[in-house]
Each structure stands twice: as structure tokens, then as C-alpha cells.
Amino acid sequence: MKAFEKHPGIALTIGILGISLSSIFVRYSSAPSAVTAFWRLFLTVLLMTPMTLLSADIRKAFKGTTRKDLLLSAVSGFFLAVHFVLWFESLKLTSVASSTTIVCTEVIWVALGFCIFLKGRIPIAAIGAILITLCGSVLIAFADSAAGSNLSGDILALLAAISAAVYMLIGREVRKRVSTSVYTYVVYIACSAVLLILCISGKTSPVQYGLSPVIVGFLLAVFSTMLGHSVFSWALKYFTPAFLSASKLCEPVVAAILAAILFGEIPHYLVVVGGVLILTGVFAYSMIESKKGA
């Protein structure tokens, strides 16, 4: 990372590309969603294990973590597993543009959950941003329905966003007491374990689909997780959270462009309009939260 410290913008660009490739990689897997997701998380854990176990600071942080926080981290991992399965399944049923854009509403569901369950307050201006985002989601669903697409893909993407929001809300509380390294490692282990259980309960073996899901899982682990989400965490040292939140909104745009090139998926104009509304609403909400935090 030393080379990127002088030019953090380059690292951030790589991070945006990394998360944008998630939906593209998933499309190339011929295995069930739970199998593809399992290999992503399992291989991520394998890549993280050496540096986690060899770090004296992380080992010390583990010893100082309570059982309650470890359990909450595991529950967070459960909802992350649900998110991956729902989102990967969504990508099989609807366009990359629709799925990735709807999943971006995660931050809105985090806000609503924070208000309902954690007794937080949402500014009036933020309510307007949330309504804009929801209108965009409805417009995308209407466009897909009018085009004869299966609405279940959009619904699964919405449920994936909500499950990701639950994962984020739990993490928001646990991270007040637990280090990022410990929390992330426990979450990923729990997530991969849940995904393995889902595979077994569905009478599916992760190894019965050949190398396709393994290769896709490895690409997801390296590019989308390690060089994607991890880079965004690292970039907090150089950029404001509001700027990074806005940068993440590039994901559905880049993913839609790649899908148009690779799969010939040209989104309906109403999907584009709905996507613009969603991204505008999420961006506006991020800016409002940033000002409130300041």
C-alpha cells in the first residue's frame, strides 16, 4: 500500500472497479448462488488467516473481545450470508443495472432501521432523500415489469439490500467495542459457515460444480473483497466518509456499462431514470448525514 499512499486516488479507483466487478463475476458462475457465495467467503477467510494469526495486535484484540460481541459478530455474518445469496440469485433473474442499483438502497434501509430499532432520528431533509430513492426503486420495478422481466429479481435485490442493512446496523454497534480486523474476520468465518450449511441443507456440495464457482469465488475474494471493500476501509485515512459513500455509487454505473459490453444488456430508459433517482437520493442522504456528523 506504500505506493498508493502517495496517490490514494489510484487505490480508490481500483476499489471502485473491484466492487463493480462483483455482479459481472457472479454472472460467469454456473453454480447455485449459495455455492458461489460460499467460495467467495471461504477463500477470503483463507487469504485473511495468515496475516490475522501472525499479527500480535490482532491476537491481543481477540483476547479482549467478549463472548457477546463475538456472538453479535457471528449474527452479523449470518445476515451477510443472506445478503449474498439473495443478491447473487437476483442477478440471475434481472439485469445487472437493475439489481446493483436497487442493492445500493442499503444505506436507506440502514437509516430506517437506525430510526426504528436504535431510536435514532432522521432529519426532515433526509426523509425527502429516502422518498426519492424509493420512487426510483418503484420506477425500476415498473420498467422491468413493462419490459416483461421477472419482478422477483428486483424483489430479491431489495431483500438483499435490507439484509445488508441489518448486517451494517449490527456492525455499527459491535464496532464501537471491537477492532475492524477482529470483527471482519469473525463475520467472514460465520458467513462462510452459514453458506456451507445452506449448501448442505439444499443437498448441494460446493465441490460438485467443478472449477467454475471456485474461480469466480477466488476472483470475488481478491478483486471485490480484498481490492474492493478493503480498499474503501483503507481509504478512510485519506478521504472523508461522505466522499467514499458517494464514490461507491459509481458501482452500479460501472457495472451497467460492463454488462452492456459483455452481455449486451442495454437498460430500459425507465431503468436509467429510476437508477438516477436512486443514486441521487442515496447521494443526497450521504451528504445530509455527513453535515449532521460534522
Q: What is the pLDDT of residues 11-70, one digit of tens each?
A: 888 989 999 999 999 999 989 999 999 999 999 999 999 988 899 999 999 999 999 999
**Residue 236, pLDDT above cutoff 80:** no
Residue 292 has what pLDDT? Answer: 62
**Residue 294, pLDDT above cutoff 70:** no
The H-or-E segment that residue 170 falls in is: helix 151-174
Judge contact between 19 and 219, C-beta under 8 A.
Answer: no
Q: Where are the domains of the chain?
A: 2-121+150-266
Closest by Cα among 223, 90, 200 to 153? 90
pTM of the model: 0.89
Torsion of CA 60, 39, 175, 8, to 10 degrees: 90
pLDDT in tens, 67-104: 999 999 999 999 999 999 999 999 999 999 999 999 98
pLDDT in tens, 113-172: 878 877 777 778 888 888 898 899 888 988 877 776 668 999 999 999 999 999 988 988
Share of the chain above pLDDT 70, in %: 94
Residue 149 gets the label, from left (phi > 0), alpha (psi -120 to 50) or beta, of: beta
